[in-house]
Structure 1
Amino acid sequence: MGKIYYIMGKSSSGKDTIFKELLNRVPGLRRVVPYTTRPRREGEENGVEYFFTDEEQTEKLEKAGRIIELRAYDTACGVWKYFTADDGQVDLGAADYLMIGTLEAYEKMIRYYGADNILPLYVEVEDGERLARALARERRQAQPKYRELCRRFLADEEDFSEEKLRGLGIHRRFCNEDIEHCLEEITEVIYNGKL
């Protein structure tokens, strides 16, 4: 029986980099691609980081009962939705999977797939370093959205509070100050199938 390895962490903690590198390092690990209605960032490809969709498609999936979890954020740029759909990507009888998501989404995934089938991989970075990374990334965009960066940074404090982490049984953290060490620790967890 396969497992879903679920990467979580505050914005700019390195989740996307870790996700891509784990897919390269762990043969047979399959990605689960979530959906979003937000605009594509420079360098993003449809079907890689996200399936970029619109409100109409989202409503169709919702009416069909195929949305496992959905989050809507009232951003400085309008409402952006992120969600996971039961679209045939996951077959726990066939493989192990890797996902990126929020704590809220993780909780809903546990309800859907069962706690025994999902292992949380919570990635941490010191706040000053996270802010520096976020600012550097935003500056590379053709149209930087600094207000949204600030909103996200502040929202993360509440979204990933210690109380919420403990409430979902997330105790182990993977420090991403040194990416190579962080990747080694996570890879070991995946090969052992347990935290």
Structure 2
Amino acid sequence: MPEIAFIMGKSASGKDKIYKNLIEDESLKLNTVILYTTRPMRAGETDGVEYFFVNDETAVKMQESGRIVELREYNTVYGVWKYFTADDGQIDLNSGNRYLVIGTLEAYDKFCEFYGKQHIMPIYIEVEDGLRLTRAIHREQKQDNPHYEEMCRRFLADSEDFSEENIAKAGITRRFSNNGELEDCISEVKSAILGGMYGY
């Protein structure tokens, strides 16, 4: 039975809201996994809550010792920032605990390589592209300083990252549609988690 539920989907698919709802549902008994980052801590953040904040030297040492499950690098105006999941004891497949992780398709592949595919339940959230673009635009319009160019870049990048070829290659066969009411999608995901991870 899989111990890790892994949520993924293109931008504006609603995966963040679904993730938050699943974590807050006590009946699912899902544990969160705190990521690491080399970016500076922002005002109001606490080490070990939003992220574990480490310097680049620590990240390199963890990578060299084989303790990094998956890692992403982003070139920013402040330099390269790394975000990664570490094998630091937060996930213990022998503990009887269940975990919820949110990430990219590439990160999902890395988790499968590290922990074994039999321990991961993929939850791919799918939204029709036209609807997803409309939702993305509406979301961006609410920002104080909308970044439509970045929104478009992400939209196009997701089409490549989550191509049908890549989805098939990852062995993902089930999809959870979020084209309608969010609550319906959440309900379907919860049923799948209870059935797949707890045998209900």
TM-score by length of 1: 0.83
Q: CA deviation at 1:33?
A: 2.6
Matched, 1:125 2:113: no
- Does structure 1 retain, via aligned residues, the 8 Å contact 2:28–2:194? no
SS at match of 2:150: helix
C-alpha spacing 1:107/1:21, structure 2 compared with 1 (3 Å): same
Aligned counterpart, 1:59:
60
Distance 1:33 1:140, change over 3 A: farther
Aligned AA for 2:104? T
Question: Aligned in 2, Cα 1:77/1:164: closer, same or farther, shift over 3 Å?
Answer: farther
* 1:135-160 deviation line (CA, Å, top 9, x unaligned): 33334445443332221111100100
Aligned pairs for 1:161-180 within 5 A: 161-177=163-179, 178-180=181-183
One-letter code aligned to 2:89: G
Determine the structure 1 residue equivalent to 2:188: 185
| 5+ residue gaps, structure 1 | none
What are the Cα deviations for residues 136-195 of structure 1, in whole angstroms up to 9, with x where unaligned?
A: 333444544333222111110010000111111111110112211111111111111169
Farther-moved stretch of structure 1 (130-139 vs 91-100): 130-139
Give ranges in structure 2 of 5+ residues lacking alignment.
Answer: none
The change in CA–CA distance for 1:137 and 1:108 in structure 2 (over 3 A counts) is same
Q: Which moved more, 1:176-185 or 1:56-65?
A: 56-65
Q: Within 1, Cα distance between the matches of 2:78 and 2:130?
A: 25
Letter of the 1:187 partner, please give it: K
Summarize deviations over 1:72-100 as a string: whole Å, max 9, x none.
Answer: 24478864433211122111222010000
Alignment of 1:43-54 (within 5 A): 50-51=51-52
**AA matched with 2:135:** R
SS at match of 1:166: helix
Q: CA deviation at 1:42?
A: 10
Letter in 2 for 1:22: L
**For this pair of structures, how many residues does the alignment match?**
195
Contact 1:42 1:141 in 2 (8 A): no
Q: Counterpart of 1:170 in structure 2: which amino acid?
A: I
Cα 1:19–1:143, aligned 2, differ >3 Å: closer, same or farther?
Answer: same
**TM-score of the superposed pair, with normalisation by structure 2:** 0.81
Question: Matched residues in 2 for 1:46 and 1:140: separation?
Answer: 29
Superposition pairs of residues 16-165 of structure 1, within 5 angstroms: 16-25=16-25, 26-37=27-38, 50-51=51-52, 55-74=56-75, 79-94=80-95, 95-165=97-167
How far residue 12 of structure 1 moved from its aligned partner, in angstroms, is: 1.4
For the Cα contact (< 8 Å) 2:4–2:121, is it kept in 1? yes
What is the aligned-residue identity percentage?
A: 55
Alpha-carbon distance in structure 2 between the residues aligned to 1:186 and 1:122: 10
* Structure whose CA Rg is larger: 2
Distance 1:106 1:73 in 2: 18
Does the CA contact (< 8 Å) of 1:69 and 1:83 recur in 2? yes
